[in-house]
Amino acid sequence: MLSGNNNLKDTEEGHADIRVLFDISIVPHAVGGVSRYLLSVAGALLTVADSLGIDFHPLDVPAAHPGVPGPEIDSLLLDTPFYLKIPFFRRLPIRKRWEERSRSRRLRKIAGGNAIFHHSGVQPEYPQGSISVITVHDLSALENPQWHRNETVAFAEKEARLIEGGSSVMTSSEWTRRRVMDYFALPPERVFSAGGAACSIFSPGIPSSEVMKELDLEPGRYLLHVGNFVPRKNIPFLLDVYGRSREKGVEIPLVLVGAGGWGDVAVDEGAGVRVLKNLSDKALVELYRGARALLYPSTFEGLGLPALEAFACGTPVISSNATALADTVGKDGIQLDPDAHQAWVGEITALEEPQRVDELRIMSSAAVRKDWNDIARGICGFYRRISRS
């Protein structure tokens, strides 16, 4: 079992180090923005935490994702008990949930005393005696369970019980922070909005001719949607307004990029629609750079990371005004009601005019770019605050 130095030491500022375990066991299961967000936060905290008196360690629990490789980031590991490695015999401990039931005790050996345990999601077990913090991206699994798989709803309910039992909360947006405070009737000091940012690889530039050729796309001659094929992304609506736009003369294709989906959201290629799954970050950057605009009619977002990535590349954004997108996009993009068919068709067809595209590019380029390291510094301040409460 791996463990760092459990001893607290003094920093130059005279503050005692605070030990933080940041559980990233969800990453192998997560798709799209959740995985990118958590790895970005963990990477930035690894960069800045030590200088701020935080003894920070990402943590992976391989038993939480059996058979699936762990996150590609240097982490502490909670060893998988030997009995889960014995064929046939392991059936009994799996059925009896021995590993989960012993996880809190085993985690305590890594955490030491007075640590902060930061749940990144779907990991309710934590070392007793530690300060519990939960990342809440949004409350959609609690407020709209029909949009999610049963296991996602079950874990959200476990996290809700932890919050009701005293866990502090970190959110990815101010909108989600307000929703969490209202939903759980929490005082402001229990909930922190960290915000979000686009990774540094997302930047303006001329799209790679090699990538464009490989994907059979022409720069400036396609529309883009980035997001998994799940109910809240409002993809049937997007396909409908795109189809109506084609009837009004729009000929450029609509490219949908996703990593998976559920909830009976079917996306068929044809009639100008292209589907690309599991693209590398490098290819995604080039897609943003070459897109005429990002179309993002989601009905529920806790942040809206694709909008931030598009802004970072100077790509025009047309999004819904629902939930956190109202703040994330703001005046730097066009915002429409997520069910306003005529308005969406009007904006899509207007993109046939080069002058309109230029106007939206100027708006997008004016967006203030946030830095993950700055966000990590804010999180470290939150850790210090709750460690003293």
Residue 47 covered by a domain: yes
Specify whether 143 is located in the same domain as 179: yes
Specify whether 264 is located in the same domain as 179: no
Please report the pLDDT score of residue 265 as a whole number. Answer: 63
Residue 9 covered by a domain: no
Which residues, at least 6 apart from 24, have a Cβ–Cβ distance to it below 8 Å?
38, 39, 42, 58, 59, 60, 71, 73, 75, 120
Query: Would residue 41 be called left, alpha or beta, if left means φ above 0 and alpha means ψ between -120 and 50 degrees?
Result: alpha
Q: How confident is residue 262, by pLDDT bands cut at 50, 70 and 90?
A: low
At residue 278, does pLDDT exceed 90? Answer: no
Residue 191 sits at φ, ψ, to 5 deg, of -130, 130
Please report the pLDDT score of residue 14 as a whole number. Answer: 42
What are the respective helix, strand and coil percentages of the chain, to the nearest 5? 45, 15, 40
Residue 168 sits at φ, ψ, to 5 deg, of -80, 165
Specify whether 63 is located in the same domain as 188: yes
List the domain range (segments joined by +) for residue 110.
Answer: 18-197+371-388
Please report the pLDDT score of residue 2 as a whole number. Answer: 35
Please report the pLDDT score of residue 4 as a whole number. Answer: 36
Specify whether 230 is located in the same domain as 125: no
Q: What is the DSSP string of 146-171?
A: GGS-HHHHHHHHHHHHHHHTT-EEEE
Q: How confident is residue 5, by pLDDT bands cut at 50, 70 and 90?
A: very low
Residue 280 covered by a domain: yes
Q: What is the CATH number of the domain that holds 167?
A: 3.40.50.2000
Specify whether 126 is located in the same domain as 85: yes
Mean pLDDT over the full length of the chain: 90
Specify whether 214 is located in the same domain as 344: yes
Q: What percentage of the chain has pLDDT greater than the value 90?
A: 70
Q: What percentage of the chain has pLDDT greater than the value 70?
A: 93
The total of structural domains in the chain comes to 2
* 283, 215 Cβ separation under 8 angstroms: yes
Specify whether 78 is located in the same domain as 104: yes
Specify whether 77 is located in the same domain as 123: yes
Please report the pLDDT score of residue 197 as a whole number. Answer: 97
At residue 8, does pLDDT exceed 80? Answer: no
Specify whether 186 is located in the same domain as 330: no
Specify whether 225 is located in the same domain as 281: yes
Question: What does the pLDDT average to over 200-217?
Answer: 96
Residue 6 covered by a domain: no
Which residues, at least 6 apart from 265, have a Cβ–Cβ distance to it below 8 Å?
229, 230, 231, 233, 235, 236
At residue 332, does pLDDT exceed 90? Answer: yes
Specify whether 294 is located in the same domain as 381: no
Please report the pLDDT score of residue 6 as a whole number. Answer: 33
Residue 5 covered by a domain: no
